Amino acid sequence: MNVLELKNVTKKFGDFIAVDQMNLFIKEGEIFGFLGSNGAGKSTTINLISSLLRLSAGDIYLLGKNIAQHRRFAKMNIGIVPQDIAIYEELSAYENVRFFAGLYGLRGTELKKHSEEALVFVGLGDKMNALPKTFSGGMKRRLNIACAIAHRPKLIIMDEPTVGIDPQSRKYILQSVRQLNEMGCTIIYTTHYMEEVEEICSRIAIVDHGKIIAEGTKEQLTNIITDTKEVWIEVKAIGSFDAEVVKQMKGVNSVRVEEHVVQIISQAEVTNLHEILHYMISQSLEIVSLKEQAPNLESVFLTLTGRNLRD
Amino acid sequence: MNIITISKQTMLLLLREPKSFLFMLAFPLVMMLILGSALGSAFNEKVDIGTLRVGYHVEGSPQVKAAFTQFMKATVQDVRYQEVTTTAKGKNDVKLGNRDGYVEVNDQGVHYYKSEQTTIQSSVIEGMLAAFADRYHLAKEIGLSGVKDEVANVVSEESLTAKKAPRSMDYYGVVVTTMITLYSAIGASFLLRGERTRNTAIRLGVAPISKGEIFLGKIIGSVLMNSGIIAVLMIVGSLLFHVNWGEHLGYVILVLLSQIVFAVSVGVGVSYVVATGEGARSLLLILIQVASFFGGAYFKIDHPEGFMNILVHLSPLQWANSAILSVIYNDQLSAILPVISLNIGLAALFLTFSAVTFRKREGF
Ligand SMILES: Nc1ncnc2c1ncn2[C@@H]1O[C@H](COP(=O)(O)OP(=O)(O)OP(=O)(O)O)[C@@H](O)[C@H]1O
Ligand SMILES: [Mg+2]
């Protein structure tokens, strides 16, 4: 069954089209990755699904019901982890979770139990009565998640839940996402970190300019790019290397420099390696290693959008 | 039910912000202490502030002259009075630093011209004069058997209180309390904006509750919280300073409650007009201080004339104060009706405007 279905969903802010006739379905039990660079329209789409914004056109169905007509039903079954941490600093972790869960009709012992369980689940069981002021970034992110899950929603939407936190908290959060999924929750996961998507998502959509430009499993997506190849050239020092020069060479789609590694994507049928190497040697770059790279999500993204996922 | 959850939450948030909470309690109590007690005690116990030199000139009815003579007698230990023949000379002496102040008394009232250098002394005299003017005027207003009789008693604390006129502590106890109700507006301007700046507006927005519930819950929470503060203030004021709230406490409370509803509504309304939180706060602070000044929270303005008269009657504090003082000292219970109607009417306007804006806005 489809937990969520978007049909021609459009959102305009004045003349600007933030989400452009988006079609999408998400099946029960999926961890669905939502990839897109800054301003692609991810958060806007999430705000539409959660009824925070009004649709300009199109329809959204949650568990088969149109959310415009069944707003309360939809809201009850969705949990949102906002991109920006949304908690009350002056209330304890427990008071935060309890307040938000209370808005979903939970009362009394049930409210208490659900709130406590949510906090234990994100690993804040021993910090229930502490104020978030005293929390690290990672702990605040985890509280941000606890506030979204205490009412036990069927669909949990996480908008970049791991921004700016330590590796340990990140690991914890990814593990929690998997655990929630095993407990029966369907999850939409938005991120700028490709490795997170590769690690946990069963299906992925790439969003650009408010449109979904590709969608499928990791394998399906990487198979899209049979027409390109990627080489990684490691040099001792990057020195006077100019990516723009290489970009002008025949067949080259994109060039990316990450520390000492130059990553070049070019059309599969064009042979240009000798030209590239010639340029690098002429710039007195000492080449350490050279390898052909199998296409990964990062290169798919780069090929499709012409941009890096992270600026 | 959701409304209750939201208003409980609103009160809890305010309670956890002790700074503004304490301000709304400590500030008025200190103000009452300074304005009411220090000035009032100038009539009873002696406050040692050194001898002040004050020039004076009295005109008008024999009653006024007699009253002022009494006043001078009562304060002669602190003040050396010297009669001055012309206004110009009186003012000039102060300018040159020969005197700390110059008083002119006539049937219209008391005018005080003070030196800029000796501010502490000056304000003490000012306060004593304000209390004098208060008493003289209020005694006349409530129509005691005869002005003459009253004037003879002008410095006698007990006989006046017995005849139901406010001591200066009673006056300031009331007006400072009404003034503090206006400060509710500042907290109120952050009620909904605060949710936006914390990002929690998103969570409220995605929760299965209506905007109306959020709006009402917030307003109710804020009104209750501020009512609590005012109640504490009234109790502490009564215990510490024996502020007289009269025999019709219920009526006084109704006026104060309507004043809080009014202030909260203005605060919420302003937050939807002014773009930034700081901007809204500054605008409200200015409005409150102007209203306090013309409403007589700092010193009583008797018989204002012309433009001043208009300003005084535009102050929401003035409406509330005169109604409350009429209830306490005149048993004039009907005085509360116009004030309450005005407060609630204006509140309804501001709230309707805010609610419509809030509703129309996408998100929060
Ligand atoms: N309320 C709004 N009014 C006008 N424009 C908006 C509004 N909200 C978002 N936008 C615009 O819509 C576009 C999509 O924004 P959105 O926040 O959905 O992007 P995103 O994919 O979540 O980006 P990021 O990765 O930076 O969070 C952006 O260009 C943004 O400026
Ligand atoms: Mg976003």
Atom number in ligand 1 closest to CA A14? 4
More reliable by pLDDT, B135 or A214:
A214
Judge if B94 and B149 occupy the same domain: yes
Contacts of A71 in chain B (CB under 8 A): 208
Q: Is the pLDDT of residue B162 over 60?
A: no
pLDDT band at B292 (very low <50, low <70, confident <90, very high): confident
Looking at residue B242, its pLDDT comes to 85
**Most confidently modeled range among A84-98, A214-228, B145-159, B230-244:** A84-98
Give the residue from A19, A89, A90 with the most B CB atoms within 10 Å of its CB, the best one to mutate.
A90
Question: Residue B88 contacts by C-beta under 8 Å, 6 or more apart in sequence?
Answer: none
Tell how far the Cα of A160 is from the centroid of ligand 2, in angstroms: 7
B127 and B152 share one domain: yes
Q: By alpha-carbon position, which residue is closest to atom 25 of ligand 1?
A: A38
Size (chain A), residues: 311
Its sign, for the CA torsion B55, B59, B65, B67, is negative
Q: What is the mean pLDDT of residues B341-354?
A: 95
Nearest atom in ligand 1 to the alpha carbon of residue A42 is: 21
**Where among B138, B159, B180 does a domain terminate?**
B159
Ligand 1 pocket member A39 (CB < 6 A):
yes
> Is A50–B363 a contact, with Cβ atoms under 8 angstroms apart?
no
- Return mean pLDDT, chain B: 80
Position B159 scores a pLDDT of 28
What is the pLDDT confidence band of residue B307, given thresholds at 50, 70 and 90? confident
* Alpha carbons within 13 A on the beta-carbon side of B219: 23
Q: Is the CB of A210 under 6 A from ligand 1?
A: no
Whether residue B2 contacts residue B10, with contact meaning beta carbons closer than 8 Å, is answered with: no
- Name which of A75, A85, A87 is nearest B206 (Cβ-Cβ): A75
The answer to whether residue B42 scores a pLDDT higher than 70 is no
Of B159, B192, B212, the residue at which a domain comes to its end is B159
Tell me, what CATH number does B109's domain have?
3.40.190
Residue nearest to atom 5 of ligand 1 (CA): A13
B132 shares its domain with B153: yes
Check residue B318 and give its pLDDT: 86
* Per-residue DSSP letter, B299: S
Q: Which residue in B203, B209, B362 is closest to A86 by CB distance? A: B203
Does the pLDDT of residue B302 top 80, yes or no? no
Distance from CA of B2 to the nearest CA of A (A): 7
Atom 18 of ligand 1, nearest CA residue: A41
In the block, residue with structure tokens 């052909």: A292
B180 in a domain, yes or no?
yes
Residue A170 has pLDDT above 60, yes or no: yes
What are the residues whose beta carbons fall under 8 Å from the beta carbon of B41, sequence distance 6 or more? B47
Mark yes or no for CB contact B199/A86 under 8 Å.
yes
List, in order, residues 6 or more apart from A291 with CB less than 8 Å away. Answer: A231, A232
Model confidence at A222: pLDDT above 70? yes
Interface test with A, best of B202, B210, B362, B364 (most A CBs within 10 A): B202
Structure tokens at B78: 């602190």
pLDDT value of residue A2: 92
Q: What pLDDT sits at residue B152? A: 29
Residues B36 and B78 in one domain: no
Looking at the CA of A82, which ligand is closest?
2
Look up residue B145 and give its two tokens. 């058997």
- Of A13, A158, A209, which is best to mutate to test ligand 1, by the most ligand atoms within 8 angstroms of its C-beta? A13
Q: Both tokens of residue A170? A: 């990140």
What's the structural domain count of chain B?
2
Percent of all residues in chain A with a pLDDT value above 90, rounded to a whole number: 67
The pLDDT value given to residue B297? 80
Ligand 1 centroid to residue B331 C-alpha, Å:
62
Does residue B231 lie within any of the structural domains?
A: yes
**B279 within some domain:** yes
Nearest chain B residue to A83 by CA distance is B199
Predicted confidence (pLDDT) at residue B313 exceeds the cutoff of 50: yes
- Shortest CA gap B262–chain A (Å): 27
Average pLDDT over residues A33-40: 91
Task: Decide if B302 is inside a domain.
Answer: yes
Look at ligand 1, atom 6, and give the residue with the nearest C-alpha: A13
pLDDT in tens, B71-117: 787 777 667 888 888 888 888 887 777 787 788 887 777 777 776 66
- Looking at the CA of residue A41, tell me the nearest atom of ligand 1: 18
Could you tell me which residues of chain A have a Cβ less than 8 Å from any Cβ in chain B? 47, 50-54, 71-72, 75-76, 78, 80, 82, 84-91, 95, 99-100, 102-105, 147-148
pLDDT average, residue stretch A130-140: 94
The chain A residue lying nearest B360, using CA atoms, is A54
Chain B closest CA to A74's CA: distance in Å? 8
Looking at domain A227-294, its CATH superfamily turns out to be YebC, transcriptional regulation domain (3.30.70.980)
Count of CB pairs separated by less than 8 Å, A with B? 65
Q: Give the pLDDT of residue A311.
A: 58
Q: Which residues of A touch B16 (CB under 8 A)?
A: 90-91
Task: Out of A250-259, A281-290, B95-104, B164-173, pick the least confident.
Answer: B164-173
Please state the domain extents for chain A.
2-221, 227-294
* Same domain? B11 vs B37: yes
> pLDDT-derived band of residue B222, with 50, 70 and 90 as boundaries?
very high
Domain A2-221: CATH superfamily, name plus number: P-loop containing nucleotide triphosphate hydrolases (3.40.50.300)
**Quick check: B41 pLDDT over 60?**
no
* pLDDT greater than 60 at residue B151: no
Residue in B307, B239, B317, B225 with CA at minimum distance from that of residue B21: B225
Asked if residue A204 has pLDDT above 50, the reply is yes
In the predicted model, is pLDDT for residue B204 greater than 50? yes
Interchain pair B205, A50: CB under 8 A: yes
Interface of B with A (CB under 8 A): 2, 5, 9, 12-13, 16-17, 198-209, 362-363
**pLDDT value at position B358?**
92
Are B244 and B353 found together in one domain?
Answer: yes
**pLDDT tens sequence across B248-288:** 999 999 999 999 999 999 999 999 999 899 999 999 999 99
Residue B120: pLDDT band (50, 70, 90) is low
Residue B11 lies in a domain: yes
Beta strands at A203-208 and A31-35: parallel, antiparallel or unpaired: parallel
Q: In the predicted model, what is the mean pLDDT of chain A?
A: 91
- pLDDT over 90 (residue A122): yes
The helices-and-strands tally (H runs, E runs) of chain B is 17, 4
For ligand 1, whether the C-beta of A36 sits within 6 Å is yes
| Whether B225 and B291 share a structural domain | yes
Looking at the structure, tell me whether residues B118 and B218 fall in a common domain.
no
Last residue of a domain, one of B159, B183, B204: B159
For B128-139, how does the pLDDT look when each residue is reduced to its tens digit (9 = 90+)? 776 677 666 533
Residue A215, pLDDT > 50, answer yes
**Same domain, yes or no: B181 and B115:** no
3-state secondary structure of A255: strand
- Quick check: is B171 in a domain? yes
CB contact under 8 A, A105 and B204: no
Residue B340: per-residue pLDDT = 95
Task: List CB contacts (< 8 A) between B2 and chain A.
Answer: 103
In the sheet that holds A65-66, the strands lie side by side as: A16-27, A2-13, A57-62, A65-66
The pLDDT of residue B43 is 37
| pLDDT band at B39; cut points 50, 70, 90 | low
Residue B216 and residue B238 in one domain:
yes
**Of the listed ranges A268-282, B28-42, B114-128, B279-293, the one predicted with least confidence:** B114-128
A229 CB less than 6 Å from ligand 1? no
Determine which residue's CA is closest to atom 19 belonging to ligand 1: A39
Pair (B176, B292) in one structural domain: yes
| B150 in the same domain as B222 | no
- In whole angstroms, what is the distance from residue A162 CA to residue B230 CA? 45
Name the token pair of B124.
């003490």
Half-sphere exposure of B40 (CA within 13 A, CB side): 21
Domain-embedded: residue B46? no
What domain range includes position B194? 2-41+166-360
pTM exceeds 0.80: no
Sole residue written with tokens 């110059």: B102
- Tell me what the mean pLDDT of segment A87-109 comes to: 95
Phi, psi values for residue A58, rounded to 5°:
95, 180
Looking at chain A, the whole-number percentage of residues with pLDDT higher than 70 is 99
Q: What is the mean pLDDT of residues B198-225?
A: 95
Query: Does the pLDDT of residue B38 top 90, yes or no?
Result: no
Ligand 1 midpoint to CA B84 (Å): 75
- Residue B152 within a domain: yes
**B55: alpha, beta or left, given left = phi > 0 and alpha = psi -120 to 50?**
beta
